[in-house]
Amino acid sequence: MRVRSMAVVFAAVFFGAMMGQLLTPQPASGVSREIVELQQSVAQLLQGQQDLRSSLEQKLTELHTLVGQSLDSQNRLSTEMATLQKNMQDAQANTGAKVDTLATQSQGLSDNMQDLQARVGKVSQQVSDVQNLLQSIDAKIPGGTATGTPMANPTGSAPAPQAGAPSATPGISSDTLYQNALRDYNSGRYDLSRQEFSDFLKNFPDSDLAGNSQFYLGEIDFSQANYQDALAAYDMVIVNYPKSYKLAAASLKKGEAMLALGQKASAVRQFRSVVSRFPGTDESKRAESHLRQLAPSPAAH
């Protein structure tokens, strides 16, 4: 019992000492140092928060600036795209007009070349005829003495036309009549040109340029919006003059006359025929252009 009592007393004393140590106030210097450290930590924390806020505000300002610049760039790009699109549309329109102008000029040059070729052929034939005539005269005149065959017309007038020759307009050859008609057509004197081309067909139906004359009669009707008459004229070129210089052009213009009359399905078939029959020609390229424009139309399918 005594030992147990001493142990209890000893434990009570030790516990009291420990509690006294815990309940005893700390020195003022230790408390002040902890408060200062705490204040410093709080100050550092506040400073870091302020720095973070400043950084965020700066980034936000930069972001607003970038957004504004992006919007400005987008507006400028939209304006430039609109301007570019307009320029492309204008360029396409101008290109189409220039292509039509070049096609017209090319057609005129082609006509002049064809006329020149026809004239050269006729001159060559005339030279050959003269040579044959001289050889015949030399054979009939021994020693250069005339035997009654006239060497030349002493009056200088043109020889009388042979039997069976076409009755042309008095004093006007086929070349002259055709050139006058073509010149009046190019000058816009359509009524006079129509009469001259008609006279050419009447007086020189077998000429190499008869198909050209028939074609230009169609062109006159087309330019005056007489599309039905123009269609008939182009058909006559195709049917009556299959070897004409204007066969491809007449085939193309036949399709354009159909298109002007609202016959889209027939026009599409005609343009496809031009592409098939005259590949690589200007007429074929123009027919392909028409087909591309007509592609969205139900008639083209």
pLDDT of residue 181: 95
At 195 the pLDDT is: 96
Say yes or no to pLDDT of 43 above 80: yes
Residue 272 one-letter amino acid: R
The more confidently predicted of residues 2 and 152 is 2
Which residues 6+ apart lie within 8 Å of 182 measured at CB? 111, 115, 193, 216
242, 275 contact by CB (below 8 A): no
Q: Is residue 65 over pLDDT 60?
A: yes
Q: What pLDDT does 193 receive?
A: 96
pLDDT at 247: 96
The alpha carbon dihedral of 52, 57, 63, 66 has a sign of negative
Percent of the residues in the chain that have a pLDDT greater than 70, as a whole number: 62
Residue pair 241/211 in contact (Cβ under 8 Å)? The answer is yes
| Contact present, 205 and 214 (Cβ < 8 Å) | no
Confidence of residue 253 (pLDDT cuts 50, 70, 90): very high
Is 254 within 8 Å of 238 (Cβ atoms)? Answer: yes
Entry pTM = 0.47
Return mean pLDDT, the chain: 77
pLDDT at residue 44, as a whole number: 87
Interatomic CA distance for residues 111 and 127, integer angstroms: 24
For residue 243, give the DSSP letter.
T
Task: Give the pLDDT mean for 29-58.
Answer: 83
pLDDT at 131 over 70: no
Q: Residue 133 above 50 pLDDT? A: yes
pLDDT surpassing 90 at residue 2: no
Q: Is the dihedral of CA 196, 199, 204, 206 positive or negative?
A: positive
Per residue in 73-121, pLDDT (tens digit) is: 788 887 888 888 888 777 776 666 566 667 666 666 667 666 676 666 6
Cα torsion 284, 288, 293, 296: sign: positive
Res 227 pLDDT > 90? yes
Instruction: Find the mean pLDDT for residues 267-273.
Output: 96
Name which of 194, 170, 168 is nearest 180 in CA terms. Answer: 194
Higher pLDDT, 117 or 38: 38
pLDDT at 50 over 80: yes
Give the single-character DSSP code of 132.
Answer: H
Residues 237 and 253: their CA atoms lie apart, in Å, by 11
Task: Enter the tokens of residue 301.
Answer: 């399918």
The Cα 180–Cα 192 span in angstroms is: 9
Q: 160-209, pLDDT tens digit by residue?
A: 333 333 444 555 788 999 999 999 999 999 999 999 999 999 999 999 99
Mean pLDDT of 277-287: 95
pLDDT of residue 225: 96
Q: What residues contact residue 137 under an 8 Å CB cut-off, 6+ apart?
A: 149, 151
Q: What is the pLDDT of residue 25?
A: 56
Percent of the chain residues topping a pLDDT of 90: 39
DSSP 298: G
What's the pLDDT score for residue 301?
42
